[in-house]
Amino acid sequence: MQVIKAESAKGKPVLGICNGAQILVETGLIPGLHPEHLEMALAWNERVKNGKILGVGYYNDWITIRHNSKPGRSIFNRFNSKILMHIPVAHGEGRFTTKDKTVLKNLIEKDQMLFRYCDAQGKFIDEFPVNPNGAMYNLAGVCNPEGNVMALMPHPERTIKGQPIFDSLASYLKNTTKLHIKKIPAKKTDKTMNPMEAVEKKTTKEDITILVRLIITDNEERTLENTLKNIGYKNISLYRQTYLGFFTSNKKNLEQTAVNLIESGEILNLNKEIPTVFIGKKAYSYSKDNGLQKIADPTAKGHNVIALEYDNYAGKNIYNTLKNHEKIPGLQKVERGIYWTVYLKKKNEFENVIGTHIFHNPHSMKLLTP
């Protein structure tokens, strides 16, 4: 990425599609208002219509996009804005969002909102299915201020309908005339759009916590641990689990409620995942034959944090499923996030590890201690 940053600074084209778009956002190249600062997130998809949650997470379908910027604003939009592109999306985390209201304002003012989701007639409708992931401003693609770097979530490379973007790039590369976009330096009075949120103490206590771990190797856990080791935290170990917090008005026999939740098949797959249950200060393992069995808290010796989406649509989706199909007595709310247990030989390194933003992007998530 350091090489890509250096080459993009020379004006060379950089196009990040889907996972590539996520990388450009997480490394600060996009939106690039204040280089090296984290100013946006590509968050968990939210499919919402008329205020109703239709689904969250991975989504694969054909959508339509067009650019509403001045043709030639970027290397990638040197064509008429009336051209519509019917192309696929295939992602789980593609929702452009930011917690900094000035970022959206600046992106509009500087015409960096390059490609937006629209209907078959080119109209922007901020609702599923036209907006397939709930992205702010129907955003599908964002360029940097200079216009030579673009983060695009849909896949124009998978169909001839996406050819205008690549024809635009080819036209630029063949043309000896340089892109006529001046670099826009950040003003000294501008805010630093790099919100480093301190880890907060979780203020609401769920009645039942279920942590879910994969039986097989968790590739995300291994990847993040290796990344942290590569940047200098040599003695770190990570333990990743899915966090599920259940709030209920019925406090009687919470152990049986936990068993009912597990055996519903809606929150985990017992063929490939292992649950650990916490009720009050007690921890339990679970097996089909023996039910809940008391165990020592397996997370007690580490630093524990929960990465939780601000709007908790994933938890709301699980709640709706359980409420409509499983009839769990007294169930009021469900939270879903990622539970990280961090083991370090040097305790004072924990704050620095959190500061890498490797566990969460503060524009889409909060980080809590349980």
Residues marked active site are found at 18, 155, 157
Quickly list H helices, the chain.
Answer: 2-9, 19-26, 101-109, 163-174, 219-230, 254-263, 313-321, 350-354
CB 322 within 8 A of CB 265: no
Cα atoms in the 13 Å half-sphere on the side-chain side of 230: 7
Cβ-proximal residues to 86 (8 Å cutoff; 6+ apart), any chain = 62, 63, 64, 120, 159, 161
For 68, the 3-state DSSP assignment is coil
HSE value, Cβ hemisphere, 13 Å, CA-based, for 196: 9
Cα 122–Cα 93–Cα 228 angle in degrees, nearest 5:
145
Q: Where are the extended beta strands (E) located within the chain? A: 14-17, 41-44, 46-49, 52-56, 59-67, 85-91, 93-97, 115-118, 139-143, 149-152, 200-201, 208-214, 237-248, 273-279, 282-287, 291-295, 303-309, 331-343, 365-369
CA distances from 158 to 54, 62, 147, 194 (A): 26, 11, 23, 34
- Cβ burial of 369 (10 Å; 0-12, 13-18, 19+) is exposed
Q: Which two tokens stand for residue 27?
A: 């490394």
Are 315 and 334 a contacting pair, CB within 8 Å? yes
Q: Are 240 and 339 in contact (CB under 8 A)?
A: yes
Q: Are 41 and 48 in contact (CB under 8 A)?
A: no
Report DSSP state, residue 160: G
| Residue whose tokens read 């994933």 | 314
